[in-house]
Structure 1
Amino acid sequence: MPYDYDALYQEQRHALGEPTKAFVDFFKKYDQSSVQVLDLGCGQGRDALFIARLGHHVT
């Protein structure tokens, strides 16, 4: 039976853990509304999810 990850992430914003502090700090200072971000070695995707929720396009 497939697991509904979309529902999990809607209910628990940090289901995979907190995003990396360096990314949080960088994007707090970054002044672009929407950019394309390439996340290499993303693991479970906690940083990619954080960046996408800010409105950026993550690959």
Structure 2
Amino acid sequence: MMKRSPRHAVVHKASCVACGTCVDVCPRGAMRIHAGSFAEVNEDLCVGCETCARECPASAITVEVRA
């Protein structure tokens, strides 16, 4: 089993416009659009690189440290 990164992306669903930018730019394939409504993170694949957060046009993604 692969160890999870201590950092991970968090999507703020109320701000997400489901544009798919995060899906397109994620180098690990950790993002997907859920039911055409908002982005969702696969935490097993996310390494917290911040690419999705930097590229999100709605500023709906932050990268946080796991508790």
Q: Which protein is bigger by CA-based radius of gyration?
A: 1
Structure with more strand by fraction: 2
TM-score (norm 1): 0.28
Q: Which has the larger helix fraction?
A: 1
Relative contact order higher in (CA < 8 Å, ≥ 6 apart): 2
